[in-house]
Amino acid sequence: MNNSGLISSPHAHGGDTIRANMLSVMLALAPATVVSVYLFGWMAVFLIVLCMAGCMLTEMACLKLMDRPPSALGDGSAALTGLFLALTLPAYVPWWIPLIGCITAIILSKQVYGGLGHNPFNPALAARVVLLISFPLNMTAWIIPMHAGAPLVNLYDFAQCWHLFWLGPESLHQGLDAITMASPLGHVKTEWSRGIGVLEALREYDYSYLDAFLGRESGSLGETSTLALLLGGVYLLARHTIAWHIPVSFIATVSVLALIFNQINPEHFAPPLFHLLAGGLMLGAFFMATDPVTSPVTPHGQLVFGIGCGILTWSIRSFGGYPEGVMFSILLMNCAVPLIDHYLRPRVYGK
Amino acid sequence: MLRKLLEHLKPTTPGTFPGGMYPPEHKITATSPISQCPLPPVLILPLKQHIGETCTPLVDVGDSVLLGQKIAKSQGYVSASIHASSSGKVVKIEEHPIPHPSGMGRPCIFIEPDGKDTPDESLEPMPDYRNTEPSTIRERIRICGIVGLGGAVFPSFIKMVRDQRNPIDTVILNGIECEPYLTNDHRLMLEKSEEILRGMDIIMHAVNAKHGIIAIEDNKLDAVEGIRKALTEMHGIDTCNIEVRVLPTRYPQGSEKQLIYALTGREIPAGRLPLHIGLLCQNVGTANAVHNAVCLGRSLTERIITVSGDAVPQPGNVCARIGTPVPFLFARHGLHDMDDVHVIHGGPMMGERLSKLDVPVVKSTNGLLAMKRDTFYSEQAVEEPCIRCGHCVEVCPSGLVPNELAWHCRNDQFDRGQEYDLFDCIECGCCSYVCPSHIPLVHYFRYAKGQVAKIEKEQEFARISKIRSGARDNRLAREQAERAARRSRAKQQHKAASADKAETAGKSETKPAAKETQNTNENNEEEST
C-alpha cells in the first residue's frame, strides 16, 4: 500500500527498512560465512550459492503464483533464509537435499501462511528439521574440514569439489565415511550411549576449547566458529537490529543448567563451556531465535522465550535422542510465541 | 527529623521516562530571535480554537472592534473566549477553512485592521496579584481566553480549579519542547524569562501551590541559564521554591504524562488528570500569556510561532497575531510559491498536514513547517507487512503493543483494540517513526478511536430513540385507553339516563357496567406505568 495520500502524523521517519534489517543480518553473518569457506572451501561456496538462489527462485515463483509484485523479493528475506539454511547444513550433502530444503522453507513454512511476517516458524529451521528427519544419514555426516590433518579430498580444489558436489563421494572413489567425521556433540552422545563418560569421550576426540572457539572443528557450515558468530551478534546488538534479551537469556540459561548439573554429575553432564562452544548454540541464540517474525515482541516475552529455548536445548542435548537441540528448542518455543505475547504485555502507563 | 531522613532515603527521581526515542532535532531556528509579524490585510478568527464548545459571536458585520476586545463568548464550561487581535472593522462572519487535516471549514470572524491597534482598556492590570483573591485571577485568566499553548489548547482556568480534596502542591512549567524543528518555547524562555517566571508565580498563587519546577531539556542549556539568571534577579517572588530541572533530551518528554513521570517518578492514573495527584502542568507560553493577562490586562491575541522546514528560505521565530493567514506568514519568510510544499501545522511528529493552505494562525499554532513535496516522508513510504521486530513496543511511552493493536484496529475489531488499551495511546508517533515496514500505526489508532466514538454516539442515539419510541408507544396506548374509557363512560351515562327514563330496571342492570369502567381504569393505569 502506498501511503502518499496519508496526511496523518508523524510526518517524519527514522529511515529503518525491512531491507536494511535483512542486509544487516547478512552482514553480521559474513564472519561466519568466511570461516565456513576457510574450513570447507568450494563446498561452502556451492552450498551457499545454491541455497540462496533456490530460496529466491522459489520465492519469485510463489509471488508470481499469488499475483504479488516481484519487488517483494527485494526485501531480502528470501536471500537471508537461503543463507541461514546453507549455514545450518553439513558441508557435503547431495545437491537435491538443499533444494528440497529451499522449497520447504519458502513454500511450506513461509508462503502458505501468507508470506513475510506471518510465518509462525523460522523458515530455515523448519526446513532443516524436515531435512534432518527425512535424510538423517546425510544430515549428520560432517565432512572433515581442510585444516584437520590430511583430508582425502582437497576442498580448495574447484574441480574435485565440483565432482563431489554434483556426483557424490563415489565419483572421487571415496566412501562417505572416509571423508566425514563426528561432531563433538555427536561424538559425546554416541559414547554416552556406549557407557563412556563425557570427560573420557572428549579426551578421545582430542577436543580443544580453543579450537571450538575459533571454529577449527567439524559441524554445519556456519556453526563452527563461536568467535565469528559472536562478532556478528555484537554487530547486530550494536546496530539495534536485535535486542539483548533473547541471546542473553538463552545462553545464560544453558550455562546455568550446565553448571549446576555438571557439578552434580560431571560424568554424564558436559561442562558449561563445552555447551556454549559446541553445536549451533551461538548461531541459534544470536541469529535464529532472534528472528523477529517468530519471536515475541515484548522484552519480558523475549526473556521467557530465551529461557525456554535454553531449557529445551540443554534438556535435548543431555537427555534427548538427538545430539543437538538448538533447532528443536527454537521451533518449539516458536509455537509458544502467540501465548507469550498475549500474557506478557508491558504495563500500560497509569494502569 | 524523621521526615528529613526519609526524604534523603527517597529514591532520586527517574529523570527520564520509559520508551521514547531521539529523532534528529532540526532546530535550525534556535538562534533566530523572535521577530514581530506585521499586521496582515485581514485577520481571520475561527470561533473554535480550543478543546470544547464553539463560541458565539458578540459582534456583527460592520461593527468596529478594538485590540483585545472580546468578539466571541465561550459556550459552556470547557471553552475559551475569542478576542480581536487588532482594531478595525468586522467585514464578514462566515465559514472558512481552519488548520485541520481535512481542510474543513468553521465559522470565522473576518476583521479588516485599521492599522491603529487601538487597545481595549476595559481590563485593569493587576500588578499586585499577590494580594488579589485567587478566584479573581482565575476569572481573569478565563476571560482573557487563555488556553494551553503547548498544542493541546485546553482552557487553562479549568486546570487551575481549587479542589479541597486534591490540593495542588507543585506547578510544573513545561519548557521541554521535544518536537523537532520547533524553537518557539526555547526563544520565549530566552527572551521573556522574567515574564514566564512572573506568570508561573501568578499560577502558583492562584492555585496556592508551594513548589514550582521549570523543566527544560539539555539541548537548551542557554535557556536554562537564562531562566536561572532571571530567577536570581527577580524581585517580589519567592524564588527559593522554584527549581529549574534539566532533563536529558528525549522525545516525547514534552507530553504531560511523560514529563510528570520523568520529574517525579509518579504516574497519572489512567483516565485522571495531573491535579488528581496534586500537580499542575502548564506550558511556558501559557505562563507568558498568564503574565500578560494579569499584569498587563491583555487578552490572548498573539503567540510565538516557529516558521521552519526545508522549503522555507528564511526560517525563524515570529510573534504573530491570532488570525494571521498562513500564506502571509510564509511570504514574510521568503516562501511565496506554495505549490511544491506540504505544510505541517505543529511539529513533524504530532502536527497536522494541512490540505488547505489558506488557513489562519490559531491559538494552537506553535509551528508552521513547509516541507519540500518530493522529499516528504509519506510521499515515498510504502507500507510493508509487519515483521514483528518489536521496535514499536520498545519506544512506546505508554507501554502499549502497537503492532498487535494495529492489527485489531485495521480489521475493525474495536473491542479487541480497547482490550489492547487503544485509548491509552497518546499519538506521539514514536511507533510509526521507528517502524521498518512503514506501517502508519498512529493513523490506524486515530481511525479506530474515531470509529469507536462514532459507534458510541450511534449507540447513544439508538438508546435515546428507544426510550423515545417506548414513551410514544406508552402514550398512544394510554390515549387509546383513555378514549375507550371515555366512550364507555359516555355509554354508561347514556344507559343510565335511558334507564332513569325507563325506570323499569333497578340496580341489577347498572352493576356490570360499573364493573366494566373499573376494569378499563385498571388497564389504563397499567399501561401508563
**How close B366 gets to chain A, by Cα (Å)?**
16
Mutate which of B388, B396, B427, B447 to disrupt the A interface (most A C-beta within 10 Å)? B388
CB-CB contact of A97 with A131 (8 Å)? yes
Q: How confident is the model at residue B241 (pLDDT cuts 50, 70, 90)?
A: confident
Q: What percent of chain B has pLDDT over 70?
A: 92
User: What is the identity of the amino acid at B333?
Assistant: H
How many contacts, defined by CB atoms under 8 Å, are there between A and B? 162
Residue of B nearest to A242 (CA): B389
How many C-beta atoms surround the C-beta of residue A167 within 10 A?
12
Beta partners for residue B97, in sequence order? B105
pLDDT above 60 (res B523): no
| Residues of chain A found within 8 Å of residue B388, distances taken between Cβ atoms | 117, 292-295, 297
- The mean pLDDT of A23-37, rounded to a whole number, is 94
pLDDT above 70 (res B179): yes
| Residues of chain A found within 8 Å of residue B403, distances taken between Cβ atoms | 297
**How close B411 gets to chain A, by Cα (Å)?**
15
CB-CB contact of B251 with B422 (8 Å)? no
- Closest to A85 (Cα-Cα) out of A68, A108, A64, A65: A108
| Phi, psi of B371, deg, nearest 5 | -115, 140
Q: How confident is the model at residue B308 (pLDDT cuts 50, 70, 90)?
A: very high
Question: What would the pLDDT profile of A70-119 be if each residue is shown by its tens digit?
Answer: 888 888 999 999 999 999 999 889 999 999 999 999 999 999 998 899 99
- Predicted local distance difference test score (pLDDT) of residue B371: 92
Contact B440 A296 (CB under 8 A): no
Residue of B nearest to A114 (CA): B385
| Residues of chain A found within 8 Å of residue B352, distances taken between Cβ atoms | 7, 9
Contact A12 B400 (CB under 8 A): no
- The mean pLDDT of B229-252, rounded to a whole number, is 86
- Predicted local distance difference test score (pLDDT) of residue A198: 86
Q: What percent of chain A has pLDDT over 90?
A: 60
Q: How confident is the model at residue A179 (pLDDT cuts 50, 70, 90)?
A: confident
Of these ranges, A155-159, B46-50, B476-480, the one predicted with the greatest mean pLDDT is B476-480
pLDDT above 70 (res B11): no
C-alpha cell recorded at residue B55: 463560541
Kindly state whether residues B260 and B137 are assigned to the same domain.
yes
Residue of B nearest to A294 (CA): B388
* Number of domain units in chain B: 2
pLDDT above 60 (res A57): yes
Has residue B257 been placed in a domain?
Answer: yes
Has residue B494 been placed in a domain?
Answer: yes
CA angle B381, B387, B392 (to 5 degrees): 75
d(Cα A339, Cα A129) in Å, to the nearest integer? 23
C-alpha cell recorded at residue A309: 529455548
pLDDT above 90 (res A156): no
Chain A residues contacting B, CB < 8 Å? 1-4, 6-14, 16-18, 20-21, 75, 115-118, 243, 292-299, 302, 341, 345-351
pLDDT above 60 (res B51): yes
Contact B381 A4 (CB under 8 A): yes
Sign of CA dihedral B326, B332, B333, B337: positive
- The mean pLDDT of B408-431, rounded to a whole number, is 92
Q: Report which DSSP code applies to B274.
A: G
- Closest to A12 (Cα-Cα) out of B339, B319, B178, B248: B178
CB-CB contact of B123 with B19 (8 Å)? no
Q: Report which DSSP code applies to B155.
A: B
Residue of B nearest to A7 (CA): B353
pLDDT above 70 (res B443): yes
Has residue B39 been placed in a domain?
Answer: no
pLDDT above 50 (res B120): yes
- Predicted local distance difference test score (pLDDT) of residue A205: 82
The residue among B269, B298, B327 that closes a domain is: B298
CB-CB contact of A83 with A33 (8 Å)? yes
CB-CB contact of B180 with B26 (8 Å)? yes
Name which of A14, A21, A349 is nearest B389 (Cβ-Cβ).
Answer: A21
Residue of B nearest to A302 (CA): B390
Q: Report which DSSP code applies to B269.
A: P
d(Cα B284, Cα B291) in Å, to the nearest integer? 11
Q: Which of B125-129, B308-312, B313-317 has the lowest mean pLDDT?
A: B125-129
Name which of A1, A8, A10 is nearest B382 (Cβ-Cβ).
Answer: A1
- The mean pLDDT of A201-224, rounded to a whole number, is 85
d(Cα A199, Cα A269) in Å, to the nearest integer? 9
**How close B432 gets to chain A, by Cα (Å)?**
7
| Contacts of residue A203, Cβ cutoff 8 Å, sequence gap at least 6 | none
**How close B317 gets to chain A, by Cα (Å)?**
21
Tell me what ipTM this predicted complex has.
Answer: 0.89
d(Cα A230, Cα A223) in Å, to the nearest integer? 11
CB-CB contact of B268 with B277 (8 Å)? yes
Q: Is A26 exposed, middle or buried (0-12, 13-18, 19+ CB in 10 A)?
A: middle
The residue among B298, B323, B351 that closes a domain is: B298
Name which of B267, B404, B434 is nearest A350 (Cβ-Cβ).
Answer: B267
d(Cα B472, Cα B478) in Å, to the nearest integer? 10
Q: How confident is the model at residue B529 (pLDDT cuts 50, 70, 90)?
A: very low
Contact A349 B270 (CB under 8 A): yes
Has residue B451 been placed in a domain?
Answer: yes
Mutate which of B264, B273, B378 to disrupt the A interface (most A C-beta within 10 Å)? B378
Has residue B82 been placed in a domain?
Answer: no
Kindly state whether residues B415 and B280 are assigned to the same domain.
no
Contact B351 A9 (CB under 8 A): yes
- Predicted local distance difference test score (pLDDT) of residue A320: 86
Contact B390 A21 (CB under 8 A): no
Name which of B272, B379, B437 is nearest A4 (Cβ-Cβ).
Answer: B379
| Contacts of residue B438, Cβ cutoff 8 Å, sequence gap at least 6 | A3, A13, A17, B381, B382, B383, B384
Contact A16 B391 (CB under 8 A): yes
Give residue B113's Cα distance to chain centre.
29
Q: How confident is the model at residue B8 (pLDDT cuts 50, 70, 90)?
A: low
d(Cα A294, Cα B427) in Å, to the nearest integer? 27
Contact B381 A7 (CB under 8 A): no
Name which of A3, A243, A347 is nearest B390 (Cβ-Cβ).
Answer: A243
Over chain A, what HEC string results? CECCCCCCCCCCCCCCCHHHHHHHHHHHCHHHHHHHHHHHHHHHHHHHHHHHHHHHHHHHHHHHHCCCCHHHHHHCHHHHHHHHHHHCCCCCCCCHHHHHHHHHHHHHCCHHHCCCCCCCCCHHHHHHHHHHHHCHHHHCCEECCCCCCCCCCCCCCHHHHHHHHHHCHHHHCCCHHHHEECCHHHHHHHHHHCCCCHHHHHHHHCCCHHHHHHCCCCCCCCCCCHHHHHHHHHHHHHHCCCCCHHHHHHHHHHHHHHHHHHHHCCCCCCCHHHHHHCCCHHHHHHHHCCCHHHCCCCHHHHHHHHHHHHHHHHHHHHHCCCCCCHHHHHHHHHHHHHHHHHHCCCCCCCC
d(Cα B303, Cα B317) in Å, to the nearest integer? 10
Q: Which of A120-129, A162-171, A336-345, B503-512 has the lowest mean pLDDT?
A: B503-512
- The mean pLDDT of A314-325, rounded to a whole number, is 90
Has residue B186 been placed in a domain?
Answer: yes
- The mean pLDDT of B377-392, rounded to a whole number, is 88
The residue among B279, B298, B317 that closes a domain is: B298
Residue of B nearest to A347 (CA): B399
Q: How confident is the model at residue B193 (pLDDT cuts 50, 70, 90)?
A: very high
- Predicted local distance difference test score (pLDDT) of residue A229: 94
C-alpha cell recorded at residue A165: 558436489
**How close A295 gets to chain B, by Cα (Å)?**
8
Residue reference for cell 465561550: B74
Q: What is the CATH number of the domain that holds B182?
A: 3.40.50.11540
Q: Which of A2-16, A291-305, A335-349, B310-324 has the lowest mean pLDDT?
A: A2-16
CA angle A108, A112, A114 (to 5 degrees): 135
User: What's the pTM value of the predicted model, to 2 decimals?
Assistant: 0.87
- For the packed helices A326-343 and A299-319, what is the interaxial angle rounded to 10 degrees? 150
CB-CB contact of B382 with B343 (8 Å)? no
Contact B387 A10 (CB under 8 A): no
Provide the b/e sequence for A77-101 (b: ≥16 CB within 10 Å).
bbbbbbbbbbbbbbbbbeeebbbbb
Query: Radius of gyration (Cα) for chain A, nearest Å?
Result: 21
pLDDT above 90 (res B69): yes
End-to-end CA distance of chain B: 68
d(Cα A305, Cα A326) in Å, to the nearest integer? 13
pLDDT above 80 (res B513): no
pLDDT above 80 (res B85): yes
Has residue B8 been placed in a domain?
Answer: no
| Phi, psi of A168, deg, nearest 5 | 90, 170
CB-CB contact of B299 with B210 (8 Å)? no
| Residues of chain B found within 8 Å of residue A9, distances taken between Cβ atoms | 344, 346, 348-353, 427, 429, 442
Give residue A162's Cα distance to chain centre.
25
Name which of A12, A14, A349 is nearest B424 (Cβ-Cβ).
Answer: A349
Q: Is B88 exposed, middle or buried (0-12, 13-18, 19+ CB in 10 A)?
A: buried
**How close B184 gets to chain A, by Cα (Å)?**
19
- The domain of B271 spans 127-298
pLDDT above 60 (res B139): yes
- Predicted local distance difference test score (pLDDT) of residue A151: 65
Question: What would the pLDDT profile of B346-379 be if each residue is shown by its tens digit?
Answer: 999 999 999 888 999 999 999 999 999 888 887 7
Contact B394 A75 (CB under 8 A): no
Q: Which of B73-77, B251-255, B263-267, B279-283 has the lowest mean pLDDT?
A: B73-77
Kindly state whether residues B292 and B415 are assigned to the same domain.
no
pLDDT above 70 (res A4): no
Q: Is B347 exposed, middle or buried (0-12, 13-18, 19+ CB in 10 A)?
A: buried
**How close B268 gets to chain A, by Cα (Å)?**
5
> Taking all residues of chain B, what is their mean pLDDT, rounded to a whole number?
88
Has residue B429 been placed in a domain?
Answer: yes
Q: How far is CA A198 from CA A216, A220, A272, A320, A325, in A?
A: 20, 22, 12, 15, 17
- Predicted local distance difference test score (pLDDT) of residue B473: 95
CB-CB contact of B478 with B528 (8 Å)? yes
CB-CB contact of B382 with A1 (8 Å)? yes
pLDDT above 90 (res B61): yes
Mutate which of B22, B355, B387 to disrupt the A interface (most A C-beta within 10 Å)? B387
How many C-beta atoms surround the C-beta of residue A74 within 10 A?
13
Kindly state whether residues B270 and B131 are assigned to the same domain.
yes
pLDDT above 90 (res A31): yes
Contact B348 A12 (CB under 8 A): yes
> Taking all residues of chain A, what is their mean pLDDT, rounded to a whole number?
90
- The mean pLDDT of A40-66, rounded to a whole number, is 93
pLDDT above 70 (res B326): yes
Mutate which of A11, A18, A298, A300 to disrupt the B interface (most B C-beta within 10 Å)? A11
Residue of B nearest to A1 (CA): B383
Q: Report which DSSP code applies to B32.
A: S
pLDDT above 70 (res B302): yes
Q: How confident is the model at residue B380 (pLDDT cuts 50, 70, 90)?
A: confident
Kindly state whether residues B263 and B397 are assigned to the same domain.
no
**How close A334 gets to chain B, by Cα (Å)?**
13
Contact B440 A8 (CB under 8 A): yes
d(Cα B175, Cα B185) in Å, to the nearest integer? 6
